[in-house]
Amino acid sequence: MRLATKIILTIILAVIAIGLLMGQFWDLLFSPFAAAEKGATDPYNITKVRPQSKYTVNIINTKMKFNSQTINRYVYSNSQNVIYPAGQPIVLAAGKRVTVNVKNASGTATNVHWHGLTIPNNMDGALDKIDNGSSKTFVFTPTETGTYWYHSHYRPVETQVGKGMFGPLVVKSAVDDKYNLDELLILSDLPNGYSGMMGSHADTNLVNGQLVPPALQLKGGQLGQLRFINASADNSKTVKLPFSVKVTHKDGYALAKPYSTHTLKLYPGQRIDVEVALAGTENRHYQILDGSVKISLDYIGNHIKKGKSLFTPAKASPVDQALLEKTPDFTLALAGNMNGWTINGQVYPNLPTMQVKVGQTYKVRFTSPDGMMSYDHPMHIHGAHFQVIAVDGRATNDETWYDTYPMKAGKTTDIAVKFDLPGVWVVHCHILGHEDAGMMTSFTAN
Ligand SMILES: [Cu+2]
C-alpha cells in the first residue's frame, strides 16, 4: 500500500472513532435520557437520576400521536429536542445553584414559572414575556427538597399548559436515593376543546403525557416513592390505588402526620408523594387508576418482609392560636359573574395589590359562594407556603404547608401566610380557565 493511501485510511478511521466517541459523550453530557431511550427507559423514573446544576429547556412545538389522532403539542424539551411527553424532568439539589437556559422556539410568546419554589421574585417568571425566538436564563438556588413543577404562566395560560407547556421539577433529598423506585406520575389531559369561562371538560386523561404510561416494577421488600403532580390546566384528578400507600408529602412539604390511603385527590397544581411497600410470595399485576388511564405496576414476589418506611415526619408546626381569633387582614371573595371569574367583584389586574411586610404572618379569608356558579377554587400563592387554619370558623388543626389549596364552595376558608422574600407575588385560581378569566390578584411584599 502506498504511503498516501495509508495516511488517508488512518485519517478516515480516526474520524470515525472520534465521531463514535463524541456521539456517546454528547449523549452523556447533554441528554441523560437519549442513551436510555434506546432501551425504552422511562424518563420519569428518576431513581438514579443525579441532580444537575445546568439545564436547557427548549420550548418546541411538535405533532404527537394519541391512538389514531395526531395532535399539535408543545414540549418542554432539552438541548437535543428529545420529545418528553410530559416535559423534561429537572432534578436539583437543595442549596445548590442551578442555571436554566429557557429557549423559546414554540412559535408563540410564553414564559416559565417554577411552581412551589421559594426563589427571588425576579426568578418567579409569572409576569415575564419570552418572545418566540428569544430566551431567558434563570439562576436560582432551591432551598427546600420536594416535588414541584414548572409551567407557562403566560396568558392564555389554559391553552399553553393544556397543550403541554409544563414539566416536573424535583429537589432531591438524601432519603430519596434510598428508594428502590422513585417515579414521577404527571397527570394531565388532552383538552377536548376549551370552554374558557367554565374551565372544566370531559377530557382524555394522560399520565406522563401518554395514554399508556410505561409499567412500573417493585419486588417484595422494596420501597417505592410515587410523586403525583396534577399538571392539568383545569381538571381535578382522583387516583385509585389497588394497595394502601403512605402519604408523605403534599406540595413538596413533608407531613407532620403521614397517613395511609387508597385514594388521592389532586386539584390542578397540587402534588402528593406516597410511599409504597409491598410483600408476598406471588407475582401480581397491579393497576393504579386515573380515570381512563391505567398505570401498571408489576409486583415480583419473594419471601422478603415488607420494607420499613424511610419517611421521617416533619416537626410539628401547630397553627398560631392567636391567628384563629384575629380578624382577617384580607378577605378575598371568589365568584363568577358577567365579567369573568372575579375576586371581590374584580378581574385581574383591576384589583389593588395587597401590601404586606416580609416576615410577618397574615390571616387571609377566602369565600366561595354556593349556588349557580359554585366552584372549589384551587388558589395558588407564589413565593410562599400557607397553612389552612380554619374552615367556617372552625380550626382545622391541619399542620400541612400548601402552595395550592381548594377554597371550597359554600365555605369560608382562613389561611395563614408569610412572605420571606420581597416582590410582587401573584395569587390565583389554578383552574387556568378561571385564572385567564380574571381570578388573579397579588401581594406586594416589602
Ligand atoms: Cu377557580
How far apart are the CA of 238 and the centre of ligand 1, in A?
18
425: Cβ contacts below 8 Å, ≥ 6 apart: 121, 124, 381, 382, 383, 384, 419, 442, 443, 444, 445
For residues 289 and 342, membership in a common domain is answered with no
- Answer yes or no: do 271 and 392 share one domain: no
Report whether pLDDT(48) > 60.
yes
Q: Mean of the pLDDT values across residues 172-197?
A: 85
CB count, 10 Å around CB of 131?
A: 10
User: pLDDT confidence of 213, banded at 50, 70, 90?
Assistant: very high
pLDDT digits (tens, 9 = 90+) for 341-353: 999 999 999 999 9
Same domain, residue pair 18 and 59: no
Q: Distances from the Cα of 85 to the Cαs of 42, 92, 121, in angstroms?
A: 11, 20, 29
Q: Would you say 397 and 438 are in contact if contact means Cβ atoms under 8 Å apart? A: no
Domain of residue 365, CATH code: 2.60.40.420
| Domain span at 411 | 321-445
Output the CA 409–ligand 1 centroid distance in Å: 10
Query: Per-residue confidence at 26, pLDDT binned at 50, 70, 90?
Result: very low
CA 163 to CA 44: how far, in whole Å?
Answer: 19
CA 172 to centroid of ligand 1, rounded, Å: 31
State the distance from the centre of ligand 1 to the C-alpha of 377, rounded, in angstroms: 4
Tell how far the Cα of 241 is from the centroid of ligand 1, in angstroms.
Answer: 27
My answer on whether 195 and 233 are in the same domain is yes
Spatial separation of the C-alpha atoms in residues 115 and 376, rounded to whole Å: 20
Q: What is the pLDDT of residues 390-417, one digit of tens each?
A: 999 999 999 999 999 999 999 999 999 9
By percentage, how much of the chain surpasses pLDDT 70? 89
Q: Tell me the per-residue pLDDT of 136-164, one tens digit each, with 9 for 90 and over.
A: 999 999 999 999 999 999 999 999 999 99
350 and 267 in a single domain? The answer is no
Q: Is the model's pLDDT at 372 over the cut of 90?
A: no
pTM of the model: 0.90
> What per-residue confidence (pLDDT) applies to 374?
87
| Structural domains counted in the chain | 3
For residue 241, the 8-state DSSP code is E
Ligand 1 centroid distance, CA of 143 (Å): 29
Lowest model confidence (mean pLDDT) among 144-148, 198-202, 295-299, 315-319: 198-202
Mean pLDDT score of the chain: 91
Q: Let me know if residue 122 belongs to a domain.
A: yes
Q: Which amino acid makes up residue 59?
A: I
Residues 6+ apart with CB under 8 A from 49: 32, 89, 91
Which is more confident, 258 or 3? 258
How high is the pLDDT of residue 197? 45
